[in-house]
Amino acid sequence: MDRPKSRPMVSRVIPVELFDLVVFGATGDLAKRKILPALLRRFVAGQVPDGSRLIGAARSEHSVAEYRAFAEAALAEHAVGVGSAEQRKAFIETLDYVTVDATGEQGWAELAKKLVPGRIRAFYFSVAPRLFGALAERLHKYGMASGDARIVVEKPFGRDLATAEALNRDLAQHFAERQIYRIDHYLGKETVQNLMVIRFGNMLFEPLWNAQYVDHIQITVAETVGVGGRGDYYDRAGAMRDMVQNHLMQLLCLIAMEPPAKFEPDSVRDEKLKVIRALDPVEPSDIVRGQYLAEGEKPGYCDHVENPNSHTESFIAMKLHISNWRWAGTPFYLRTGKRLKSRTSEIAVVFKETPHSIFGPEAGRHRNILTIRLQPNEGIDLGVTIKEPGPGGMRLVDVPLDMTFSEALGPEAAQSADAYERLIMDVIRGNQTLFMRGDEVEAAWAWTDPIIGGWEARGEAPIAYESGSSGPEEALMLMHRDGRRWREIRT
Ligand code: NAP
């Protein structure tokens, strides 16, 4: 029989209404690397209606022409090959710029005049979190916080429960919850959304998706980079605040939540919140923290952050339990770190062994594993047990049923919209499904705080690990002692 041909991906551009988008922090790193390239791609795709305006705002003085030159240079570096020369020129010509001081009065009246009344307006807060409250207050003071205005708030959203609550309160003074879009760019990733479709769009998996059939679940987000130029921020955050409290927690919620009644913002977010609230406190013995060592010319963590006595972790592995009917007794193992063997993100659902082997003890032990790969090679594979071909009795072997999306859906799938593109357009459409609600963020901090507080109270130092490894040996032991093992971080 012929193999089914790969199906070309249908690219759909859902029209949005005319909008004014103001990016605060328009001269910053995130604007250069992510926001401007995302807007260019949507412009080239034809999703930015004619007449929509993209207004950059930052503290430094620039003329509009200077800002356009800045944006052009940023796109030359971070959006190579996107659109034709004419399209790029037309995009650059939509850009405007205002010098605005978040904490002063400069530029606000001018900015207010630029916005078209009655049009969708969104304000992207791509500035340091300490300025979020001031921006919200000034938007209100200068009459820009209209009932349908939206604000997009970058991470980190607080550094503990108290700061997150204070930030929620500051924003709530001027904006309703339905106007606040807290970004976790993981939620904008294609495969992360696919997680929900795999679970709730197929009959195959959901009946088995519980403690009766699932032995355990592993979530790995491994990076090869070190802390880079973000040493100052990172040393005050660490892997727990930078990755676990937000990105890994969101993946955990999507993999563990009950089916929402609808794919609608509050239905989905209610279910995610229930997962976070059902998390048990974590025993210190179920957590391993690590810090990477130098490798050749590359500095180790402490040199990188210029803090020889740093106790901040660049790696964390932990075992969690969710106390509810679906998951009681099934552990979730989470692992993330910097300077690891390869850049890999995946979720592995490891099913239990069959209750009885009719093939006898010599057939060995086998388990089905459903692996959802977020990167690289986005896709899923399901490990199934089959008979090893050939004579000589029943020898069993595990083989993957592999579906790499770019192979199944055509090469375009590999270049599907970047997370920021999707999320910015969701803001314009007014769809909050892929954004975190205030109570979700607070619940995640309420679970995280005692863990971090415990390390600080005990003065616990992380364990050193080799750069380019899979993390400290102790992280392997965390699973070995339960008779399980981590999946290889693939190179
Ligand atoms: P950044 O490179 O330091 O840029 C900060 C921006 O804020 C600059 O445009 C700066 O303008 C502007 N700014 C500073 N003070 C201001 C003031 N008083 N009034 C108005 N504008 C002011 O920071 P970033 O890396 O782009 O990060 C921006 C936000 O995104 C932060 O919340 C960060 O945590 C978050 N984030 C960043 C990344 C990333 O990869 N960069 C990833 C995830 C989240 P001037 O240059 O004109 O002073």
User: In this predicted model, what pLDDT tens digit does every residue of 76-105 receive, in sequence order?
Assistant: 999 999 999 999 999 999 999 999 999 999
Q: What is the pLDDT at residue 88?
A: 97
CA of 239 to the centre of ligand 1 (A): 21
Ligand 1 contacts (CB < 6 A) are: 24-31, 58-60, 100-103, 126-129, 131, 154-156
Q: How far is CA 129 from the centre of its chain?
A: 18
Q: What is the pLDDT at residue 288?
A: 98
With the most atoms of ligand 1 within 8 angstroms of its CB, the residue from 29, 182, 223, 230 to mutate is 29
Nearest-CA residue for atom 10 of ligand 1: 25
With the most atoms of ligand 1 within 8 angstroms of its CB, the residue from 127, 154, 157, 225 to mutate is 127
Query: Angle at which helices 438-458 and 161-172 pack, to 10 degrees?
Result: 150
Q: What is the pLDDT at residue 193?
A: 86
Q: What is the pLDDT at residue 7?
A: 55
Nearest-CA residue for atom 4 of ligand 1: 28
Q: How far is CA 241 from the centre of its chain?
A: 13
Give the position, in ligand 1's atom list, of the atom nearest the Cα of 104.
18
Question: Structural domains in the chain?
Answer: 19-154 (3.40.50.720), 187-480 (3.30.360.10)
Q: What is the pLDDT at residue 1?
A: 41
Give the position, in ligand 1's atom list, of the atom nearest the Cα of 32.
26
With the most atoms of ligand 1 within 8 angstroms of its CB, the residue from 22, 32, 59 to mutate is 59
CA of 230 to the centre of ligand 1 (A): 12
Q: What is the pLDDT at residue 363?
A: 86
Nearest-CA residue for atom 37 of ligand 1: 30
8 Å CB contact between 417 and 190: yes
Strands 332-337 and 120-125: unpaired
Q: What is the pLDDT at residue 5?
A: 54
Q: How far is CA 65 from the centre of its chain?
A: 34
CA of 154 to the centre of ligand 1 (A): 10
CA of 104 to the centre of ligand 1 (A): 17
Nearest-CA residue for atom 32 of ligand 1: 128
Q: Which residue has the tokens 């090679």?
A: 377
**Mean pLDDT per 10-residue section of the chain, whose length is 491 residues:** 50 84 97 97 94 96 98 96 96 97 96 95 97 97 94 95 97 97 92 90 95 98 92 95 97 97 96 98 97 93 94 98 97 98 96 92 90 87 91 87 76 70 95 96 98 96 97 97 93 72
DSSP secondary structure string for all residues of 283-327: PGGGEEEEEEPPBTTB--HHHHTT-TT----SEEEEEE-B-STTT
Q: What is the pLDDT at residue 407?
A: 73
Q: What is the chain's mean pLDDT, rounded?
A: 93
Nearest-CA residue for atom 16 of ligand 1: 59
Q: What is the pLDDT at residue 414?
A: 54
The pTM (predicted TM-score) of the whole model is: 0.94
Give per-residue burial for 88-109: e unless 16+ CB within 10 Å, then b: beebbebbbbbbbebeeeebbe
Strands 379-387 and 396-404: antiparallel
Nearest-CA residue for atom 42 of ligand 1: 30
What six digits make up the tokens of 184?
A: 């976790």
Mind telling me the catalytic residues?
247
Q: What is the pLDDT at residue 404?
A: 78
Q: What is the pLDDT at residue 3?
A: 47
CA of 29 to the centre of ligand 1 (A): 7
